[in-house]
Every structure is written in structure tokens, then in C-alpha cells.
Amino acid sequence: MLFNAAGPATASSSGTQGGISVHYGVGDRYQRYTLNYETPSIWTTRFGGRWGRLDLTPEIGVSYWTADRPRSPGQAWQFSAIPMFRWWTSERFYIEAGVGATVLTRTRFSNRNIGSAFQFGDHIGVGFLLTPNSRVGVRYSHFSNAGIKRPNPGLDTVQLTYTHQF
């Protein structure tokens, strides 16, 4: 979201700025810590009336998963590339959704065989623009291999997110 010296820019502003985000997620006896680089919007469209704007913003990230003891294996790394659609319903509020590819460093995590290191990440969330350079949000994420290999139990997290835009 762009701002000018007088405050928030109008709906005619260009898309979402790029930035760095941190996420803290919790799941079924495990946690996920994420650092993402978010590019500026690569596509933006404005809707008529009060319907806001839709942006397409890629996220490239790395995550560290840790399981509660005595669940084993207790750690894993994940690398992801997720195109996120972000619908700005107003100058400050947004709804987001995205699906993309991820790779984990192991196929077993937290007493589960997840089938394959390659997983799809499905995300949906909501957020709020705090200042011209910061956003906070809540996001639900589901990771699974979409049945390309069995078993496919999936991993789910609910995350708090903070993004510093530049």
C-alpha cells in the first residue's frame, strides 16, 4: 500500500510494496518460524466503486519447524515460493490467499511420515496496515503433497505475521 506525505494514498495507488515478513505459527504439537521476502506487486487490478484492489505478490521464504518433545524427528527446514493474491478491501484491510511449492529437508517430522519432501502450501489470511511501512496479519496454512505420494497426512499451522514494507 502506498502512502504520500498527506497520509494513505487513494485507490489509484499502485500495488503492494515489497518487504520482509516474519511469521510465527503453531500446529499439532509443533511450531513454524518463517522469514519471507515479498516482492512488490507483479500484477494489480482495481475494482469499481468501493470494491478495492487485488494484487499478486510473490513470497520467497525459509521456515524452521520444531516439534514438541518427545516427537521425532523434532526439526525440519522448509523453502517456499508462494504467489499470494491480496485483496485490499479498503486502504488498511486485506484478505489474502495463495498456493505454491515448498520443499522440506526431511520426509518425516513430528512422529509423521509426510510422504515426500515436496509439498504444496495453501494459505488464507486477513491483515491490517498499521503504518505506511508495517502490516500485521493472521494466516492459516496447510502443507501436503496433494496425493502424489502416500502417506499424505499434511501439516497445518495458524500464524501471526508481521511485514515491514520498503
CATH number at residue 77: 2.40.160.20
**Per-residue pLDDT of the chain in tens (166 residues, 90 and over written 9):** 333 233 333 333 567 889 999 999 999 999 999 999 999 999 999 998 889 999 999 999 999 999 998 889 999 999 999 999 999 999 999 999 999 999 999 999 999 999 999 999 999 999 999 999 999 999 999 999 999 999 999 999 999 999 999 9
**Which residues constitute the domain of residue 137?**
14-165
Tell me, what's the pLDDT at 7?
Answer: 33
Give pLDDT, residue 11. Answer: 34
1 domain residue, yes or no: no
**Residue of 28, 116, 142, 164 with catalytic role:** 142
Q: Does some domain include residue 139?
A: yes
Tell me, yes or no, whether 159 lies in a domain.
yes
Distant-in-sequence contacts of 43-52, Cβ < 8 A, 24+ apart: 43/15, 44/14, 44/15, 44/16, 46/11, 46/12, 51/89, 52/11, 52/87, 52/88, 52/89, 52/90
CA pair distance 3, 41, nearest whole angstrom: 15
In a domain, 125, yes or no: yes
Domains contained in the chain, number: 1
- Is 156 known to be catalytic? yes
